[in-house]
Structure 1
Amino acid sequence: MLSRIAEALFWIGRYVERGDGTARILDVHLQLLLEDPWVDEDTACRALLSVMGTTVDSGRVLGRDDVVSMLALDREHAASIAHSVASARENARRAREIISTDLWETLNETNARMPRRVASDRTHPFFRWVRDRSALAFGVVDSSTSRDEAWHFFSLGRAIERADMTARLLATRSLTEAGGPSWTTLLRSCGAYEAHLRSHRAVPTAASAVEFLLVDRLFPRSVLSSVLQAEECLRGIDPAVAFGSVDRAQRVLGRLRSELEYRPIGDIVRQLSESMEEVQVSVSMASDAIRERYFPSIAMPVWIGEAL
Structure 2
Amino acid sequence: MLSRIAESLFWIGRYLERADDTARILDVQMQVLVEDPGMDERTSCEQLLSVMGVEDYTGNPNRWMILDLLAHNPDSPVSIANALGACRESSRRARETLSTDIWAAINTTYRGLGSARAMRPPDMFAWVRNRSAMISGIAESTMSRDEGWHFYQLGRNIERVDMTARLMSTAALAPGPQVAWPTTLRACGAYESFIRAYRGIEADRQAAEFLLLDRWFPRSIVFALAEAERALVRLERSGRRAGFGDEAQRLLGRARTELEYRPLADIVFDLPVEMERLQRSCAAASDAVTARYFAESEDYAWQGGVLL
TM-score tier, shorter chain, comes to over 0.9
Q: Indicate whether 1:18 and 2:31 are aligned.
A: no
Distance in 2 (alpha carbons) for counterparts of 1:156 and 1:269: 27
Which runs of structure 2 are paired with 1:267-306 in the superposition (5 Å)?
267-305=266-304
Distance in 2 (alpha carbons) for counterparts of 1:250 and 1:241: 14
Q: What is the aligned counterpart of 1:169 among 153, 162, 167?
A: 167
Distance in 2 (alpha carbons) for counterparts of 1:28 and 1:268: 22
Query: SS of 2:184's equivalent?
Result: helix
Which residue does the alignment assign to 2:39? Answer: 39
Q: CA deviation at 1:4?
A: 0.7
Whether contact under 8 Å (1:234, 1:241) holds in the other structure is no
TM-score by length of 1: 0.94
Q: Indicate whether 1:195 and 2:193 are aligned.
A: yes
The amino acid of 1:35's aligned partner reads: E
The amino acid of 1:155's aligned partner reads: Q
The amino acid of 1:90's aligned partner reads: E
Distance in 2 (alpha carbons) for counterparts of 1:202 and 1:106: 38
Query: SS of 1:218's equivalent?
Result: coil
Which runs of structure 2 are paired with 1:46-65 in the superposition (5 Å)?
46-57=46-57, 60-65=59-64
Which residue does the alignment assign to 1:69? Answer: 68
Which residue does the alignment assign to 2:180? Answer: 182
Structure 1 window deviating more from structure 2 (137-146 vs 236-245): it is 236-245
Distance in 2 (alpha carbons) for counterparts of 1:181 and 1:46: 19
Q: CA deviation at 1:197?
A: 1.1
Q: CA deviation at 1:61?
A: 1.5
Q: CA deviation at 1:289?
A: 0.3
Q: CA deviation at 1:229?
A: 0.4
Whether contact under 8 Å (1:78, 1:304) holds in the other structure is no
Distance in 1 (alpha carbons) for counterparts of 2:191 and 2:90: 33
Q: CA deviation at 1:283?
A: 0.7
Deviation digits for residues 101-158 of structure 1, max 9, x if unmatched?
1010001001111027745x70000000000000011000001111110110001000
Whether contact under 8 Å (1:160, 1:226) holds in the other structure is yes
Distance in 1 (alpha carbons) for counterparts of 2:253 and 2:125: 34
Q: CA deviation at 1:267?
A: 1.1
Whether contact under 8 Å (1:227, 1:253) holds in the other structure is yes
Q: CA deviation at 1:260?
A: 0.9
Distance in 2 (alpha carbons) for counterparts of 1:118 and 1:46: 23
Whether contact under 8 Å (2:153, 2:228) holds in the other structure is yes
Structure 1 window deviating more from structure 2 (32-41 vs 247-256): it is 32-41
Q: Indicate whether 1:96 and 2:83 are aligned.
A: no
Change (3 A) 1:241 1:96: closer
TM-score by length of 2: 0.94
Whether contact under 8 Å (2:251, 2:285) holds in the other structure is yes
Calculate the aligned-residue CA RMSD, in Å.
1.9
Deviation digits for residues 183-225 of structure 1, max 9, x if unmatched?
2111111000101111111222122111110111100001110
Whether contact under 8 Å (2:99, 2:142) holds in the other structure is yes
The amino acid of 2:73's aligned partner reads: D
Distance in 1 (alpha carbons) for counterparts of 2:56 and 2:290: 30
Whether contact under 8 Å (1:22, 1:80) holds in the other structure is yes
Query: SS of 1:219's equivalent?
Result: coil
**Overall identity of the aligned pairs, in %:** 48
Q: CA deviation at 1:305?
A: 3.1
Change (3 A) 1:213 1:179: closer
Q: How many residues align?
A: 305
Change (3 A) 1:22 1:304: farther
Which residue does the alignment assign to 1:255? Answer: 254
The amino acid of 1:10's aligned partner reads: F
Which runs of structure 2 are paired with 1:58-137 in the superposition (5 Å)?
60-115=59-114, 118=117, 122-137=120-135
Q: CA deviation at 1:180?
A: 7.3
Runs of 5+ consecutive residues of structure 1 not aligned to the other structure: none
Distance in 2 (alpha carbons) for counterparts of 1:241 and 1:294: 10
Distance in 2 (alpha carbons) for counterparts of 1:61 and 1:253: 37
Q: Indicate whether 1:158 and 2:159 are aligned.
A: no
